[in-house]
Amino acid sequence: MEPSSDWLATAAARGRVNEVLALLQAGVPPNAPNIHGRTPIQVMMMGSARVAELLLLHGADPNCADPATLTRPVHDAAREGFLDTLAVLHRAGARLDVRDARGRLPVDLAEERGHRDVARYLREAAGGTEGGGHAHTGRRDDPDLEDHGEPETVSSS
């Protein structure tokens, strides 16, 4: 691992668009892990859709999963409510139908945090597939088993 990969990850985490661009143009690999084993797209400032765009345009993997939690950048963007960043990731090929280690889809995280616009986007993007519905782990402590004021299932008459 080269120090430049740490610099890129740090710049991405701080949302420093110009620095990210300069490092990428200098040839720093967008998927090189930092000292903690995380790639720039995993640690990027989720509120900076432009940082996401730059990393993705230079070949960052939108589907890289954290080995411990199985979360991907779309999980982070959905949980934090960053619709613009989520849309950039999705357009770049990020999967919306993958579960984290706790069995949650990105839409579940958006709904847990009350990010209705993000949850709506995810449901529409999934086109009514599982990626657009609630994910239930079946555990008693599963927050998705609580009543959120929405129907749990949709009947198809």
Closest residue by Cα to residue 111 from 121, 101, 102: 121
Q: Is 66 left (phi over 0), alpha (psi -120 to 50) or beta?
A: beta
Per-residue confidence (pLDDT) for residue 21, from 0 to 100: 98
pLDDT band (50, 70, 90) for residue 126: confident
Per-residue confidence (pLDDT) for residue 4, from 0 to 100: 86
91 to 8, 34, 52: CA distances (angstroms): 22, 25, 11
In a domain, residue 121? The reply is: yes
Per-residue confidence (pLDDT) for residue 112, from 0 to 100: 98
The stretch 10-20 carries a mean pLDDT of 98
In a domain, residue 143? The reply is: no
Identify which has the larger pLDDT, 148 or 127.
127
Closest residue by Cα to residue 73 from 83, 60, 81, 64: 64
Instruction: Indicate whether 11 and 49 sit together in one domain.
Output: yes
Q: What is the pTM of this model?
A: 0.79
Token pair listed for 92? 């770049």
Percent of the chain that is helix, strand, coil (3-state, to 5): 45, 0, 55
The tens digit of pLDDT for each residue in 74-95 reads: 999 999 999 999 999 999 999 9
* Measured distance CA(86)–CA(88) in Å, rounded: 5
In a domain, residue 99? The reply is: yes
Q: Is residue 147 scored above 50 in pLDDT?
A: no
* Measured distance CA(89)–CA(93) in Å, rounded: 7
pLDDT band (50, 70, 90) for residue 154: very low
The CATH number for 67's domain is: 1.25.40.20
What range does the domain containing 29 cover? 1-61
Per-residue confidence (pLDDT) for residue 156, from 0 to 100: 35
Instruction: Indicate whether 75 and 27 sit together in one domain.
Output: no
Exposed, middle or buried: residue 47 (CB in 10 Å: 0-12, 13-18, 19+)?
A: middle
Instruction: Indicate whether 18 and 51 sit together in one domain.
Output: yes
> How many domains does the chain divide into?
2
Per-residue confidence (pLDDT) for residue 148, from 0 to 100: 33
Instruction: Indicate whether 51 and 86 sit together in one domain.
Output: no
Instruction: Indicate whether 119 and 85 sit together in one domain.
Output: yes
Instruction: Indicate whether 2 and 55 sit together in one domain.
Output: yes
Residue type, position 142, single letter: D
